[in-house]
Amino acid sequence: MVHTEGLGELPRWELDSIYPGLESEPFQNAMTELSGQLDHLDQILDQYEAAQAVSAAAASPEDEVEAFTRFIDCYLDRMNVIATENRKLHLYVQCIVDTDSSNSLAARRLSELDPFDIRIQRQTTRFQSWLRKKSELLNQVISKSELARAHAFYLQSTAEQSRYMMSDAEEALAAELASSGLNAWFNLYTKIWSQLSVPFERNGQHEELPLAEIQNIAMLDPDGAVRERAARAEAAAWASMREPLAAALNGSKGAKIALNKRRGRMNSLHAALDEARIDPVTLEALLSAIQEALPSFRRYLKAKARLLGKERLAWWDIFAPVGQADRQFPFSEAKAFILAQFESFSPHLARFGRQAFDRHWIDAEPRAGKQGGAYCAGIPGMDLSRVLLNYDGSLRMIFCLAHELGHAYHNHCRAGKTRFQCASPMTLAEAASLFCETLVTEKARADAASLQEELALLDTFLSGTAFVSVIETTQYFHFEKEVFERRSQATLSADGICEISLRWQAEIYGDSIEPQHLNPYAWVDIPHQFFPYISFYNFPYAFGLLFSLGLYAQYQRRGAAFTPEFEALLASTGEFMPVE
């Protein structure tokens, strides 16, 4: 642990329980074993293809179903193991890279894992191709095989999505090119973020601060002048990297546009809706409800401006603390507070939370070379998670920690499920995290010692959770939609990207934000715009918040009887449509 002034000891996560090192025998053996498992599955796919070429025409319907059943069982059995081991290897190395971007060995190991992804994508494509060719047999297979029945949702949804495939050769080529295309653009973005240091004067001293720390100051420092200086320093840092960042965004979006077109998608949003497992009508209902609520959010922002002595906010004021929120909370206090609220919901959740703290699952210390933001990574096959954040002692960061522990709790509830059974859509992936965040927020508000303390808690929820999940994500949705549309016609300049971002901020925030004080580099503040295989990772947050608030309302009405059903829901999010 590292001692940080005013915050106590901030933990770094422990990774040796996953693998004892990048050059260790268990890590090397795992890579060798995964390669052998991939070889074995290639043989299974080749044998089935050869057998079909020889006997398919002469086989009876019963024999055809029997052969297809054996093939599906074999694939499910092997690929579940392969996907688990591949994810475990990747997450281990990624955790090292995300906390030390200068680790050249970890960067090399990450690139050495790329061929596994390519091979898995090829194998997945071949399997999906067979599902597409024999989709009419699928119901019979599910009725005959216990393993297929346990994976019925995965098989049926995969068969449905297989119509949006290129040829096997084209899909194999796309997978092979990803390491020097989609993945490379994302890696460029994360390297810029983690290694960008920002000159800043604080308490009379000139410092070079990590970007994540500058962002925390720009959002949360109680002094408005300090926030503004940090925000302008952050913007200047992004501006110094605007061309490579614009190139990364253009490259990522351009590749996705080309692939979606070749796969027969109507547009880039089409694929995102299918991945989120909702239809356009549901999305439109969500966006319309948000649009109707915008005046209320704008009134809130104007009220906050008055509390800060302003007519309207600047972008660096949106998250500024108000009420009695000027003190910092040591990490030990945050831990005790979160565990107490978890205990009030469920002893099971509290025990799980203690395990996360006691077994060093959390990396909370901001430092040079560490990625900004926060996430939770579940380690498949081990019932372990790792939580990354940059703890600054604020109320907002306490709620962020509860949020990420909620993700870990979701992973825990799915322990024992296979990789295919755990593939939750983005619309449901935030259910546990936002529920836990709401739980902690509401308990804190109920126990507030004064109106000023309650005001601070309410504002933290509104500006941190509700504003980010609903208003910011709506702005990012419209931004991304326009970027896709315009990128399909021509490459976008850095100025053009900033212009789109500013226009949608003005459209969503209305007259609650000073127009000259919007954030031209909001589009690089979060990594989602650069994710290699996911687009529109914005509206699912709004869906997730509203869904989790509905779940919380159920909990308030039903009390302890709600808990086992909630855990059953979390366990099954990969096996049903959200509407179910």
Separation between Cα atoms, residue 556 and residue 554, nearest integer Å: 5
pLDDT at 212: 82
- Of 32-36, 369-373, 495-499, give the lowest mean pLDDT range: 369-373
Structure tokens given for 470:
């609903």
- HEC string of 112-161 equals HHHHHHHHHHHHHHHHHHHHHHCHHHHHHHHHHCHHHHHCHHHHHHHHHH
Mean pLDDT value across residues 375-399? 92
Q: What is the pLDDT of residue 326?
A: 59
Beta-bridged to residue 198, according to DSSP, are 209
Q: Which are the contacts of 136, defined by CB distance < 8 A and separation ≥ 6? A: none
Asked if 194 and 101 touch (Cβ cutoff 8 Å), the reply is yes
Residue appearing with tokens 């119509």? 163
Q: Is residue 376 helix, strand or coil?
A: strand
Q: What is the pLDDT of residues 434-457, one digit of tens each?
A: 999 999 988 888 888 888 888 988
Q: Give one DSSP letter per residue of 60-77, joined into a string.
A: -HHHHHHHHHHHHHHHHH
What pLDDT, on a 0 to 100 scale, did the predictor assign at position 1?
43
- pLDDT tens column, 273-282: 999 999 999 9
Q: 362: phi > 0 → left, psi -120 to 50 → alpha, else beta; which?
A: beta
SS3 207: strand
Q: Is the pLDDT of residue 3 over 60?
A: no
Q: Could you read off the pLDDT of 326-338 as tens digits, one per residue? A: 568 899 999 999 9
Q: Mean pLDDT check: name the lowest of 202-216, 295-309, 355-369.
A: 202-216
Question: Which of 220 and 86 is assigned the larger pLDDT?
Answer: 86
pLDDT at 58 over 70: no
Decide the pairing of beta strands 2-4 and 8-10. Answer: antiparallel
CA distance 484 to 362: 36
Contact 354, 348 (CB under 8 A): no
Give the predicted TM-score (pTM) of the model.
0.84
**Residue that is written with structure tokens 């106590």 in the block:** 8
CA dist 72 and 453 (Å) reads 58
- Does residue 508 or residue 580 have the better pLDDT? 508
- Quick one: which of 570, 574, 567, 578 has its CA closest to 543? 578
Categorize the per-residue pLDDT at 57 as very low, low, confident or very high, splitting at 50, 70 and 90: low
Per-residue pLDDT at 2: 43
Chain centroid to Cα 163, Å, comes to 26
Nearest 5 degrees, angle CA 501-CA 101-CA 83?
85
DSSP of 273-337: HHHHT--HHHHHHHHHHHHHHHHHHHHHHHHHHHHTT-SSB-GGGTT---SS--S---HHHHHHH
Q: Band the pLDDT of 4: cuts 50, 70, 90.
A: low
Percent of the chain with pLDDT over 90: 74
* pLDDT on residue 457: 86
Q: Dump pLDDT digits (tens) for 341-376.
A: 999 999 999 999 999 999 999 999 998 889 878 999
Identify the H or E element spanning 199.
strand 197-202
Q: What is the pLDDT of residues 101-136, one digit of tens each?
A: 899 999 999 999 999 998 998 999 999 999 999 999
How many angstroms separate the CA atoms of 81 and 174, rounded? 24
Q: What is the pLDDT of residue 445?
A: 85
Q: What is the mean pLDDT of residues 151-175?
A: 91
